[in-house]
Amino acid sequence: MTFYERMMNLDRRWVYLVIGVVVVVTAIWSFAVPLYVTPEARSVYDFVDGLVPGEVLMIGVDYAPEVMAELHPMSYAITRQCFAKDVKLLLCCLHQNGPGMVEQVVAQVAEEYGKVNGVDYVYLGYKPYPGITILAMGQNFRIPFPEDYYGTPLDSLPMMRNMTNFDNVKAIINISGGSGTEYWINYANGRYNAKLAIGVTGVMTADYYPFLQSGQIFGLIGGMKGAAEYEYLAEKGGYITREKDQLWASKSMPIQTTTHIVIILFIVIGNVGYFMSKRKK
């Protein structure tokens, strides 16, 4: 078997091993990675930064633990920025495995900033059928969510007294790891013209650039890199600090760098092997 044929028939477990070693070595001996902030992530940050105390931002957190690595950093950074600016938060979860994770984020960050449930933030909880839930929220939050996640009637919460529907929130930021984003674009923005930005996983990011270009969303935080960009801006703005270990996504950027270099090398080796063995025939 020639060298090129051996390259083409390489057992994939060797590839896994090399990538595993690269990831582990980089995790142990990390290094600083310069970060370029994309305009689409910056536009989300600038919008949130432009909110004044007392205004309400809605965050639709629609993901489950399997994509926590990419989306949790976004949720934490945005929540910390909002609470630091005394912006009120209205949160909901439209993914069946996500309610506990949303509660983890908002309860932990609320405790850091001394924010009170019902006054500074309201967590609506989970309801099935995202499309119908969003359509109903566009009329009145109380239709799908008569009570919040903790069973308290919305009408008894001080923050919800003047809140009826999407017209009463400054914008919606949907952080999603699945098809939830489609529903927010179709129903919240499409039907009710709600101002919408999204934070999605890396796999989904490329699919949503057309909506950014068409103006249906005003910002896009794409994957872990997008989360790292948002964390970089939030750190510069003084909303999160490295000392308190609040930069999750940024910790993984060195690993992203080295692993991508290795993957590119494997792609080049594979292509060279393919063309050389094709030429031989």
Q: Give the list of residues 6+ apart from residue 116 with CB closer than 8 angstroms, or none.
A: 110
Instruction: Provide the 10 A C-beta neighbour count for residue 160.
Output: 22
Work out whether 255 is an interface residue with another protein (CB under 8 A): yes
From 43-51, 83-91, 107-115, 252-260, span contacting another protein (CB under 8 A): 252-260
Please calculate the CA angle 151-176-67 and round it to the nearest 5 degrees: 100
Of these, 122, 219, 256, 273, which contacts another protein (CB under 8 A)? 256
Work out whether 190 is an interface residue with another protein (CB under 8 A): yes
Nearest-10 crossing angle of helices 68-84, 39-49: 30
Q: Which of residues 51-80 bind another protein (CB under 8 A)?
A: 66-70
Query: How many whole angstroms separate alpha carbon 188 and alpha carbon 74?
Result: 21
Of these, 96, 139, 179, 241, which contacts another protein (CB under 8 A)? 96
> Residue 173 to residues 44, 88, 170, 220, 242: CA-CA distances in angstroms?
9, 13, 10, 9, 24
Work out whether 206 is an interface residue with another protein (CB under 8 A): yes
Collapse the DSSP code of 193 into the 3-class scheme (helix H, G, I; strand E, B; otherwise coil) and give the result: coil
From 47-55, 111-119, 157-165, 186-194, span contacting another protein (CB under 8 A): 186-194
Of these, 225, 229, 230, 232, which contacts another protein (CB under 8 A)? 225
Residue whose tokens read 């094709």: 278
Q: Which residues bind another protein (CB under 8 A)?
A: 13, 16, 19-20, 23-24, 27-28, 66-70, 96-97, 99, 125-128, 131-132, 135, 146-147, 185-187, 189-191, 201-203, 205-207, 210, 213-216, 222-225, 248-249, 251-252, 255-256, 259-260, 263
